[in-house]
Structure 1
Amino acid sequence: MGQGKEVKTRPDPQVEIQERGEIFFFYRPKVNKEEAHSVDDVQRLYIVMRPESGENPVEEKQDPLSGKEGSGKDSGDGDEASGSSSGTNNRSEGGHGVEKVNIEKQILLRFIVMGKKTLPDPSKKSQPFWGFVEMVTKNVEDVKNALKGEDYETKTRGHRHKPPARAVGEGIYRILRHKPTPTRKHHTHLVYKLEFPSGEHEPQESLNIEPEGSFLIQIRNPEQGGGGRSGFGGLKRKRKAQFPAHLQAHLGHTRFGAADPPDFLNYEGCEFLLISASDDIEQELGMELEPDSVGECDLLKIFGDDVVATPLLRGTWD
């Protein structure tokens, strides 16, 4: 599939492409459930992004020595899951130091946890959904481990089983800058188009993973407190992103800012809001996304048989 291409459908679509890549969606059934039959059986929704090109082929990410890379422990899967806090697993504060990654030549993966079980409803344009970057890594095995199931013991409930995550969508994405006008402030979009599954199916509809979608994406300023309109208290202080000074300067004293540059998403603990903009990219932005080829599932190429892919390939719950 690759990163696909964008096709302009209006002479001046008023957008600038910041980043191109592949996007994958996963859900994890609730603890002690072997499978999900509806969204009520879902514990967590994940997004994995693989940037492959952009305005700057060399992006910045946190230094691996920050103590965070590859930890891959999503604290939201256990019995105490909450959208307002994410417990720690003895993780170090991250963001110290910078590593350069040529995304055209090296694999880079972002493992993202959404605060709700679904993406935002396209019909509710003003409702923000909170999420955060749990892991940034150049090692595919780190993401495979984050998607695996595990058995563990608790003091109050005894033996617990966390089932493996299921792949439920694969497509291409763009992060783009919507050019400001006298009536429109500087902002950025995350847009995507699915290749798998083709058509509309129940799991994807229930999770609001439309065949294509456009969201405003706003980066939360880790130096500004308060849940504000996001409705979430967010991550605890020691888990918040620590951006280098030149990135932090882009946010200034605002609570939320544009994902410009997309390098913000290369720091674990980066919190953001997704706000539905449209389920018709062409009508909204004057462009269409087209995959490079049809019929090749890159998710299986990247993650192999380690990932349960029935919802992705058949469009049915598993």
Structure 2
Amino acid sequence: MARTHRIPRSRKSKQQTKVRTTKGKIIEHGDIFFFYRPKIDTEEVKDIESVQRFYMVMSPENSHLHRIFLIGQKQLPEIIEGKSNSEERNWALNVLTSSNAEEIRNEFLPAEYLTETRGSRRIGAAVPVGEGKYSIVEHEGHSELAYILELPEVPGPTQREFQIKKESSYIVSVKNPDIQVPGYSAFLKRKPRYPNSLKEKFGNRRWINIDDPHLLDYENSQLLLIGARKNDVEEELGIDIDEEKESSRTAELFNDLKIRKDQVPLKPLFKGKFPSKEEVPFAQEIKTLTDEEAPGRGGKVGGKIAASSSVSAASIAKVLSGIEFPKNKNQLIDYAKQHKDRISDPYSVIETLRELHDTRFENMADVEKALGEIR
């Protein structure tokens, strides 16, 4: 359940990150983590097509607070130097904020739930795929989220699947929850319960810069990320983030988030590669989801984000009108992108199509059947 109050910040005992600023104003800095969760009943992940969800966790310094953000399209925005287009944009949704590390750990545990048609289903544990240091910086009239990766020391194939670089920065804005924005209609029922002091910051603007990090503390707060830079981040922003050389003993992932080393595969975090089925530890803790928590019924864990439940069949049929079958999932998405002007909210449709299983569709009836399985 979303929290209605701001969680007080308290000091961490760990050594503070050293940040020197010469150009940008530091709004917040701390530890950043990335996780992926396999698709339902998937035993081995080989690429992003086998991934259900991609998460970013921000743990501010001088605080025991942790925020879990669900990242749209299951990857960070692509960064193309000197170019800006829709492919470089992505959304992030706060799905949990807590000062209790055990609550964060529990959110990432494997889970089981029952369905009327398929019986018991299993959602795999969230797998750590990156750890580093981040800063939110006020820079030349906008706010940027910058990070430097500490683990793995050299990003590998797994990180490339999620567009996780050794260092990157993104222009970041917070959405006004009371104003409808094209492409964000799926989130109308998911609103952060900001106090008046934060609501007043938005005025009549759709998006605002992050001048107060408490804007990120509330569940259902929504962010827009736009790829900015992937090289010389510290020099460009005028900051100095002292990343540390981490190991399995010193990693904040295990010390702060209380993730247990024997319960998650470590290969993506330290080697940058997806684990084989044999390298995935046996689940020692499995939580049982209620009907309300289960995927497709409003649940957060491994479930479909609001987009898949709010997009109408008519909208999908309209944007796919005239398509020639057979087609695979990627071809459906490409066609929807080419004809996005047919509907007012194409991005929710495209996001829903991304949730389909990667299979061959012989006709529109196959598409409708597949959509029914993810709702």
TM-score range, shorter chain: 0.7 to 0.9
The 3-state SS of whatever aligns with 2:120 is strand
- Alpha-carbon shift at residue 283 of structure 1 (Å): 4.4
- Compare CA radii of gyration and give the structure with the larger one: 2
Q: Tell me, which stretches of 5 or more residues in structure 2 are unaligned?
A: 1-13, 276-375
2:252 maps to 298
Return 5+ residue gaps in structure 1 as ranges: 54-102, 180-185
Map residues 174-193 of structure 1 onto 2, 5 A cutoff: 174-179=135-140, 186-193=141-148
Q: Give the Cα separation in 2 of the matches to 1:292 and 1:260.
A: 27
Aligned partner of 1:92 in structure 2 is none
Between the aligned partners of 2:253 and 2:89, the Cα distance in structure 1 is: 28
Residue-by-residue CA offset, 1:24-48 (whole Å, 9 max, x unaligned): 0000111110221111111110011
Q: Residue 269 of structure 2: SS of its match in structure 1? A: helix
Q: Distance in 2 between matches of 1:42 and 1:7?
A: 37
Cα distance between partner residues in 2 of 1:244 and 1:108: 18
1:134 aligns with 2:95: yes
Runs of 4+ in 1 over 4 A off after TM superposition: none
**Larger helix fraction of residues:** 2
Aligned match for 1:30, one of 35, 39, 43: 39
SS of equivalent residue, structure 2 residue 121: strand
Q: Percent identity?
A: 34
In structure 2, how many angstroms separate the alpha carbons of the residues matched to 1:197 and 1:149?
Answer: 23
SS of match in other structure, 2:155: coil
What is the TM-score with the length of structure 1 in the denominator?
0.75
Superposition TM-score, scaled by structure 2 size: 0.64
Residue deviations 1:104-124 (CA, integer Å, cap 9, x gap) = xxx111011112211001126
Q: Say whether 1:167 aligns with 2:128.
A: yes
* Partner Cα distance (2:149, 2:72) in 1: 22
1:120 is aligned to 77
Alignment of 1:49-128 (within 5 A): 49-53=58-62, 103=63, 107-123=64-80, 125-126=84-85, 127-128=88-89
Across the aligned residues of Structure 1 and Structure 2, the Cα RMSD in angstroms comes to 1.8
Partners of 1:168 and 1:114 lie apart in 2 by: 14
Give the match for residue 155 of structure 1.
Answer: 116
2:241 aligned residue: 289
Higher relative contact order (CA 8 A, sep 6+): 1
8 Å contact 2:18–2:242 — kept in the other structure?
Answer: yes
Please state if 1:4 is matched with 2:13: no
Whether contact under 8 Å (1:47, 1:114) holds in the other structure is yes
Distance 1:2 1:31, change over 3 A: farther
Q: CA deviation at 1:155?
A: 2.3
Q: Provide Cα deviations, 1:81-133, integer angstroms capped at 9, x if missing partner.
A: xxxxxxxxxxxxxxxxxxxxxx2xxx111011112211001126433201111
Aligned-partner SS, 2:61: strand
Counterpart for residue 300 of structure 2:
none
Offset, 1:259: 1.5
Amino acid at match of 1:313: F
Residue identity matched to 2:19: E
Equivalent residue, structure 1, for 2:223: 272
3-state SS, counterpart of residue 116 of structure 1: helix
* Kept in 1: contact 2:94–2:221 (CA 8 A): yes
Shift of 1:284: 2.5
The equivalent residue for 1:313 is 270
| The structure with more strand, counted as a fraction of residues | 1
| CA distance, structure 2, for counterparts of residue 137 and residue 208 of structure 1 | 27
TM-superposition CA deviations, 1:259-316 (whole Å, max 9, x none): 1201011001101111111012034313342224544311122323344432102211
Within 1, Cα distance between the matches of 2:55 and 2:32? 11
